[in-house]
């Protein structure tokens, strides 16, 4: 891995959604990892130190709300957190998560909007 790589972790329990978003990012020049649950996401963050984590809010087990709390506790504002969800913003888990994320995107994610939020590649 090159120090100049922009590292992104995609966290979504729907594998197809995670893979599609990761592929879009990889084609744009980002170094991307996928996690389908919160525990795996935490391990990958520790290992790869991503610049950004895109995370689904509604996941079984450790949901995105709990994941954002843990990431903010461990890493402060060192990682850009972007919530990506199909839930409405008035859903309690979504509104609670909004307090800790830097950005929120509704599924399906518009790749052009996402690229504007991520650090530039290259």
121 is a domain residue: no
Q: Looking at residue 90, what is its pLDDT?
A: 65
Structure tokens, 5: 């790589």
pTM tops 0.75: yes
Q: Looking at residue 108, what is its pLDDT?
A: 87
1 is a domain residue: no
CATH number at residue 53: 3.40.50.2300
Residue 4 pLDDT > 80: no
Give the pLDDT confidence of 52-85 residue by residue, as tens digits.
Answer: 999 998 888 998 889 999 999 999 999 999 998 8
Beta-carbon count within 10 A of 35 CB:
22
89 is a domain residue: yes
Q: Looking at residue 121, what is its pLDDT?
A: 86
Give the pLDDT confidence of 90-103 residue by residue, as tens digits.
Answer: 666 656 666 788 88
122 is a domain residue: no
Domain range for 99 is 7-115
120 is a domain residue: no
> What whole-number distance in Å separates Cα of residue 62 and Cα of residue 115?
27
Q: How many domains does the chain have?
A: 1
DSSP 3-state of 28 = coil
């Amino acid at each position: 891995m090159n120090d100049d790589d922009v590292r992104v972790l995609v966290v979504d329990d729907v594998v197809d959604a995670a893979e599609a978003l990761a592929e879009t990012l990889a084609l744009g020049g980002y170094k991307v990892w996928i996690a389908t649950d919160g525990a795996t996401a935490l391990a990958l963050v520790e290992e790869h130190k991503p610049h950004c984590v895109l995370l689904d809010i509604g996941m079984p087990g450790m949901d995105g709300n709990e994941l954002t709390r843990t990431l903010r506790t461990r890493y402060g504002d060192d990682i850009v957190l972007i919530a990506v969800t199909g839930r409405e913003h008035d859903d309690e888990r979504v509104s609670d998560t909004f307090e800790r994320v830097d950005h929120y995107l509704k599924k399906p994610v518009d790749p052009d909007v996402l690229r504007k939020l991520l650090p530039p590649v290259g």
